[in-house]
Structure 1
């Protein structure tokens, strides 16, 4: 009996890893398809995935370059890297959520393939967006250091963790948006302005410790603000690590992901392939 149970367990483990390999190949193929569809091979081709967010972050950095605010005085927090890590991290959220609305319409023919799911489509887009933006942020941080207008990260792991958390959050929200906007053009048009309305509460242009209570207490409940605080804690030595909580972020992202996956499962039944 014990040998039979052990054999069944081994078989289940093998099936799991076999399925994981197949799923990884599917997501990899979807990433390559998305790269080719969006950027093609002309001009600089796939490098646009890094250059495009770099241009946005450079623009914000230039706007902050001449800042002489007292918050930046006498500390290692310089305006250009402050803007780069803040806005660069927010772009992850903005791009993933904004581009989730038309996912089903753009990729519906792929659902003819049994191994391709809505989860795979959204996950592939999420990885593509997040990887490109993360690379662009680290490149810009290094360039600001070379130009003498910024420093290297003092806690690089926290920058990576903050960006991974906001990627996780963005994927979960994009699943909800994808389901909600299917055959509903009104909601889809509202997504873009709503992501911009999220900017004031996402701590892009300020640090939590600069905000007086009770407003700071309210902002501590905003997951995006916590993610950006985590990234800034990774970049600057004098930044505070009191305003983000791994447990809260993990719980919030888990619940939001569950809601998103249930929404995708519900909407899948209503998708008709002609």
Structure 2
């Protein structure tokens, strides 16, 4: 075995060890967050997915009184709303909790292996798991009641979901860095999530708008991601209004800005 090959094996072993440590840290942070947020309250861990389920059910029940039961041929109003709202709840949870992530976990920053990136990622994964569980249970009930079908193109749905999670997590890093020691900006975090609800694409399709506006609306990243998730789930959904390459580019830029943001915040914490 050559010296170069041996060096590569050593580097690969070090990388795998570091990856195992990273996964262990994130797993421990998720369990800590679960226990802190849900472990000592009423329904306990079940509230993790019951909360988004109840919110989604309330929204769907209001829409059920409408005479319109389909958003076009093959797209039922109930699965449409379930998909849109449960996915938006994930974004809202990641976004809204980003401004308090550092303050709530400041003692953990004394541990060398724990980083602000780990804290934000563990919180984001927990929100994603809760929303996906709520979605799976509600859409499963819809399928049992013959109100929805199985996903027509599962790969597109999960690709859109992963892009949506990436986008949400990247923004959370920026929010965390921007709002640290800035109480004025913190006050805008929650209102912005309410503003983004009707603009996100969770409750509308691009094709509903006049043709002249299609390009403008579809290039809003959240709309593009929802269009891709709907194309993955509904057989009749169009494939003209989502742009994965564009969304991935946006997510990469936001991730870079987010990493720089939390790096600057980490320096401030270390100075205290």
**What TM-score does the superposition give when structure 1 sets the normalisation length?**
0.94
CA drift at 1:194: 0.8
CA drift at 1:272: 4.4
For 1:182 and 1:39, the matched residues in 2 are separated by 25
For 2:2 and 2:149, the matched residues in 1 are separated by 59
Cα deviation, 1:22-51, whole Å, max 9, x if unaligned, reads 000000000000000000155431111111
Q: Which runs of 5+ in 2 are unaligned?
A: none
For 1:93 and 1:56, the matched residues in 2 are separated by 14
CA drift at 1:242: 1.5
Report SS of the residue matched to 1:12: helix
The answer on whether the counterparts of 1:67 and 1:79 sit within 8 Å (CA) in structure 2 is: no
Q: Which moved more, 1:23-32 or 1:182-191?
A: 182-191
Which residue, out of 214, 232, 235, partners 2:233?
Answer: 235
Structure 1 stretches of 4+ with a deviation exceeding 4 A read: none
The question of 1:138 aligning with 2:136 is answered: yes
**What TM-score does the superposition give when structure 2 sets the normalisation length?**
0.95
For 1:197 and 1:216, the matched residues in 2 are separated by 21
For 2:198 and 2:38, the matched residues in 1 are separated by 31
Report SS of the residue matched to 2:55: helix
Q: How many residues align?
A: 272
CA drift at 1:89: 1.2
For 2:169 and 2:240, the matched residues in 1 are separated by 26
Which residue, out of 122, 127, 131, partners 1:129?
Answer: 127
Q: Report what 2:2 is aligned to.
A: 3
CA drift at 1:178: 0.3
Q: Report what 2:46 is aligned to.
A: 47
Which residue, out of 201, 205, 208, partners 2:206?
Answer: 208
Q: Report what 2:219 is aligned to.
A: 221
What is the RMSD of the two structures over their aligned residues, measured on CA atoms? 1.7
The question of 1:62 aligning with 2:61 is answered: yes
Which residue, out of 91, 105, 108, partners 2:106?
Answer: 108
Q: Which runs of 5+ in 1 are unaligned?
A: none
